[in-house]
Amino acid sequence: MTRKKADGILYKTGLYKELGTYGGPHPIGSYRMDMMVCNNLDILMDELWNFDLWFFDRETITKAQAYCDSITTRCHQNPSLKTAITTIKKDLLTKGLYHYDKYTSMDVYHAVLTENITTTQAFLETNPLTTH
């Protein structure tokens, strides 16, 4: 049943075709091997893209939206926060450190908004890289 659901998401909705306009989509993992046991669909793209697509219950979605809205509000009130966040994220990306198994957006948001970190150097000094 899970594979049929994945087929529906990919092909009946037109997602596969639409992704094709942005680079060749290549489903991999348990979908490709026909060993799906849960709702997890991994797709590689020929062009460099990172899509985070999550399906959750309404309560979780509402909490996630409220969290994002609160960050947006704080950044509108204090634009230097947005500058610090985007600068740190860009610097980490350039250094090859911005990845799910290294530093994530959540790490940066927490550091800037909770720990008042405003530079990449301070971020790296106060948040030594550990395995997530």
Strands of the chain (E only): list them.
Answer: 25-28, 42-45
Mapping DSSP onto H, E and C, the string for 17-53 reads HHHHECECEEEEHHHHCCCCCCCCCEEEECCCCCCCC
Average pLDDT over residues 33-48: 84
Query: Does the pLDDT of residue 52 top 80, yes or no?
Result: no
pLDDT score recorded for residue 54: 77
Which residue in the block uniquely carries the two structure tokens 């680079």?
A: 23
Residues 37 and 63 in one domain: no
What is residue 70's three-state secondary structure? helix
Average pLDDT over residues 102-108: 93
- Confidence bin at 9 (pLDDT 50/70/90): very high
Whole-angstrom Cα distance, residue 28 to residue 34? 10
Residues 63 and 112 in one domain: yes
Average pLDDT over residues 54-75: 91
Question: Residue 96's domain spans which residues?
Answer: 58-126
Q: What is the mean pLDDT of the chain?
A: 90
Which residue in the block uniquely carries the two structure tokens 């948001």?
A: 109
Residues 33 and 71 in one domain: no
Domain count for the chain: 2
In terms of DSSP bridges, do strands 42-45 and 25-28 run parallel, antiparallel, or are they unpaired? antiparallel
The pair phi, psi for residue 48, each rounded to 5°, is -75, 110
- Asked whether residue 27 is assigned to any structural domain, the reply reads yes
- Asked whether residue 131 is assigned to any structural domain, the reply reads no
Which residue in the block uniquely carries the two structure tokens 């947005």?
A: 82
Whole-angstrom Cα distance, residue 84 to residue 127? 15
Global pTM exceeds 0.75: no
